[in-house]
Amino acid sequence: MPTYAYACTQCGHRFDAVQSFSDASLTECPECGGLLRKDYRSIGVAFKGSGFYRTDSRSGSSASGAESGGSGSASPSSDSKTSSSAAPAAS
């Protein structure tokens, strides 16, 4: 569940609340009873694994594997198209 940061517009009290996406936003400050607003600021995110950096998509092994797999799958389909195209011409 995501953590939302709230700030009171009257007393300035700041706190975090763990809420579900479907939960309604908090509206009352627990300190003074004033009006709350969501506080949007940068968060710490850690991207782990491959595929998050520009250089990850340019690795030789995965690029050549995708190209050979793509050309290998294209060859049989183009052969079957050629043979099906040749059959009506021969009739």
The DSSP code for 55 is G
Q: What's the mean pLDDT in 3-20?
A: 92
Say if 20 falls within a structural domain.
Answer: yes
Say if 29 falls within a structural domain.
yes
Give the three-state DSSP class for 15: strand
Is residue 28 included in any domain, yes or no?
Answer: yes
Q: 27 lies in a domain?
A: yes
CB 40 within 8 A of CB 13: no
Q: Is residue 69 part of a domain?
A: no
63 HSE (CA, 13 A, CB side): 6
Q: Per residue in 20-61, pLDDT tens?
A: 989 999 999 999 999 999 988 776 777 777 766 666 665 555
Q: Is 58 among the domain residues?
A: no
Q: Is the pTM of this model over 0.75?
A: no
- Structural domain including 25 reads 3-38
For the chain, the domain total comes to: 1
Domain-embedded: residue 56: no
Q: Determine the 3-state secondary structure of 91 from DSSP.
A: coil
